[in-house]
Amino acid sequence: MSPSADLGVVNARVVGAVPPAPRATALAIRAGRIVAVGALADVRGFFGVETEVIDAGGAWAVPAFHDAHLHLLSYARMGAKLDCAGLRSLGELGGALGRRAATRPSGAWVRAVRYDETSWIDGRHPDRHDLDAAVPEHPVHLRHRALHLDVFNTAALRRLQLTDLPMGGLERDPRTGAPTGRVYHAGDRLHQVLEHPTYDELARSVRDASERLLAWGVTSVQDASITNGPAEWTLFHRLAADGYLPLRVFFMPGVSSWRQIPWADAPSARVRQGPVKLMVEEGATDPSQLRAAVASVRGAGRAVALHAVTEAEVALAVDALGDAGARPPAPPSRIEHGAVIPDQFLGPLREAGVFVVGQPSLVHDRGDVYRAEFPPELHPWLHRAGSLVAAGVRYAASSDAPVTEPIPGVGLAAARRRLTASGAPLGTDEALGPLAALAAFTRSPAEAVGASGALGRVRPGAIADVVLLDDEVLEGTDPVAARRPVRMTVMDGRVVWRRPDLS
């Protein structure tokens, strides 16, 4: 007789069971794997005297959430930075920076993130003169909410000697040639010169961020930072080995360094390989060079993840991936973001088997800006989801944290309702049904990294990553419930989070 289950869940409504089990109310877990799913009468035989049995109280039992695209270290470090998301003008920005500087010792950095000029009455990006007026002595580093624009004051430019570097993206005043303080699309180059927190500081931040994600039911993430290279591969493994990183991380290396990463040296099973990340930049990317880079990566049996946001960038990505189906078998390749996808690309994306990894939360967070900036006839193309699924294009959802907060409930609600923060509709025909939305946050991310056999489903043999959800979260009907921690998170067969009001 097989050993008894370590953990059992009863009185649940199981979603995502394979094979389909519409009346499944219980599951049994042993040694980190699901061993049985079904009605209580079918599962009870796996329980023994030492089995911990959890009464779900009628909650939904679903596969744990899997964020298909975020930037974990950036998100973790945000806790130590000034969050500018709620500011409404350059004046408010200057006041907030000045107050933060007053708490810092002389010469210490003032770091701030997530400013959004579109929500300001000024309607423009700050420059070094704005930052100098607010903080003349301390070096200031300000990062845009989309992560692809950094702004420095004069003290920071001098401290990092940025004006002496042959750095693309360093904006200069066309009249004087002096730097404006704005640096565009230079994250990988800035990463080499910026001053970073100590390991202990970063480790504590990663632990805190991981605990928040587990409370929201997220057990697996895909880190899509273009700066990922050998040092980051080693760092993630060290964080996992030291107990600061309890999440499962799929590591996406930048195209400039993926061949230098010691893939065979993987001391922690928590950190796994992901696709190779490439940036597609409208007006800067050479199509022939992009095709060659994609062919080189795929020729080595690796998938590619192409950062493409605008219509022009998606066109370049589709062109580069056009013959992907003719290449040797490899994990599926992807388009990250795909914020604007015209109809004519649906067929090529389906034929190439490409995943579109979108961010439905942006419909909520940025939808009012989109409605103001884009004509109504383009709204159906913005952050598509439902039409992609209907056309047979593979779709996975993500947060792009720290661009949006990585709360799956918020993403589910946005995918289900397609309402902006003000409650206005945006492309409501793109809404997903409850099961399709859930799959976009669970099963599809696992498929996008070739892990669907073990993750993203509730079935015997699968890794026991399971979440207990309130009704309102799965339905996407209650904005308050969407932000609430889940009832329970089980990872690798262990309970790693219980909501205090249910303990």
* Tens-place pLDDT, residues 384-431: 999 999 999 999 999 999 999 999 999 999 999 999 999 999 999 999
Say which residue the tokens 């991981």 belong to: 210
Residue 265 CA to residue 246 CA, distance in Å, equals 19
Mean pLDDT for the stretch of residues 143-163: 88
302-335 pLDDT, tens digit per residue, is 999 999 999 999 999 999 998 644 454 567 999 9
E strand intervals along 270-332 = 271-273, 276-279, 304-308
Q: What is the pLDDT of residue 166?
A: 58
424-455 pLDDT, tens digit per residue, is 999 999 999 999 999 999 999 999 999 988 99
Q: What is the pLDDT of residue 453?
A: 86
Computed over every residue of the chain, the mean pLDDT equals 91
Q: What is the pLDDT of residue 197?
A: 81
- Cα atoms found within 13 Å of the Cα of residue 134, Cβ hemisphere only: 25
What interhelical angle do 361-373 and 408-417 show, nearest 10? Answer: 50
pTM for the model stands at 0.87
Share of the chain above pLDDT 90, in %: 75
| Most confident listed range (115-119, 185-189, 499-503) | 115-119
Sheet holding 65-70, edge to edge: 65-70, 218-223, 248-251, 271-273
Which residue from 187, 199, 193 is spatially nearest to 76, judged by alpha carbons? 199
At the topology level, CATH places domain 65-72+197-491 in TIM Barrel (3.20.20)
Domain spans of the chain, in order of start: 7-58, 65-72+197-491, 86-144+149-184
Amino acid at 236: F
Residue 6 CB contacts under 8 Å (≥ 6 apart), including other chains: 29, 30, 31, 50, 51, 52, 493
Helix, coil or strand: residue 467: strand
The alpha carbon of residue 119 and the mean position of all alpha carbons in its chain are separated, in whole angstroms, by 23
Q: Mapped to the 3 state alphabet, what secondary structure does 219-231 carry?
A: EEEEECCCCCCHH
Amino acid at 452: S
Taking each continuous run of H as one helix and of E as one strand, the counts in the chain are: 18, 24
Token digits of residue 107: 């010469």
Token digits of residue 258: 């993926």
Residue 86 CB contacts under 8 Å (≥ 6 apart), including other chains: none
At the topology level, CATH places domain 86-144+149-184 in Diaminopimelate Epimerase; Chain A, domain 1 (3.10.310)
Give, in degrees to the nearest 5, the angle at Cα 487 between 49 and 366.
Answer: 155
Q: What is the pLDDT of residue 266?
A: 85
Beta strand pairing status for 60-63 and 13-14? parallel
Q: Do domains 65-72+197-491 and 86-144+149-184 have the same CATH topology?
A: no
Q: What is the pLDDT of residue 374?
A: 86
Residue 451 CA to residue 454 CA, distance in Å, equals 6
H-run or E-run covering 237: helix 230-241
Task: Say if CB 277 and CB 307 are below 8 A apart.
Answer: yes
Say which residue the tokens 């040694």 belong to: 31
In sign, the C-alpha dihedral spanning 331, 338, 467, 390 is negative
Question: Is the model's pLDDT at 497 over the cut of 90?
Answer: yes
Beta bridge partners of 404: none
Residue 305 CA to residue 316 CA, distance in Å, equals 13
Which residue from 238, 242, 303 is spatially nearest to 274, judged by alpha carbons? 303
